Amino acid sequence: MLMNMPSKDSKSIKSPVPSEVKIIAGIEGFSGLVYLVNFLAFLNITLSPMLIILSCLSFTIAYGLWRIKKWAWFLSITLSVFGVISGIIVFALTGVSESSLFGGAPMIIIDIIVIIMLLNKDVRKTFRIH
């Protein structure tokens, strides 16, 4: 009896997901969960649509990163750059306070870490970004 053996062509061999990508996908998934919890907790008419969109977007990016989709790399880096810029603008407009140090500063730091990890040579190679 012959058994079907998986072919060993280049398309059937899947490269492992780099640790950096797993970490970023986890951060994106956690962000989606935070947006969802905030949506459910506050149910504010003005913020609700934005929170649910951000939640869905974060979950989608996490999935795309885990599956090594090029579009997810671009979305993640775009949103992280936007997060850093908007965080700096908020600091500039509101000044440094206790709430901004414990709320905004960690988000800026996480976004910077995500950008650095996404720009890593091995991660770019995995996503075929040159």
* CB 127 within 8 Å of CB 22: no
Cβ neighbours, 10 Å, residue 56: 13
Q: How confident is the model at residue 44 (pLDDT cuts 50, 70, 90)?
A: low
**Mean pLDDT score of the chain:** 83
Whole-angstrom distance, CA of residue 46 vs CA of residue 56: 17
Cα–Cα distance measured from residue 22 to residue 1, given in angstroms and rounded to the nearest whole number: 41
What average pLDDT score do residues 32-61 get?
Answer: 84
- Give the residue extent of every domain in the chain: 19-126
The whole model's pTM is what? 0.76
72: pLDDT strictly greater than 70: yes
Share of the chain above pLDDT 70, in %: 80
Q: Are 81 and 87 in contact (CB under 8 A)?
A: no
pLDDT above 60: residue 10? no
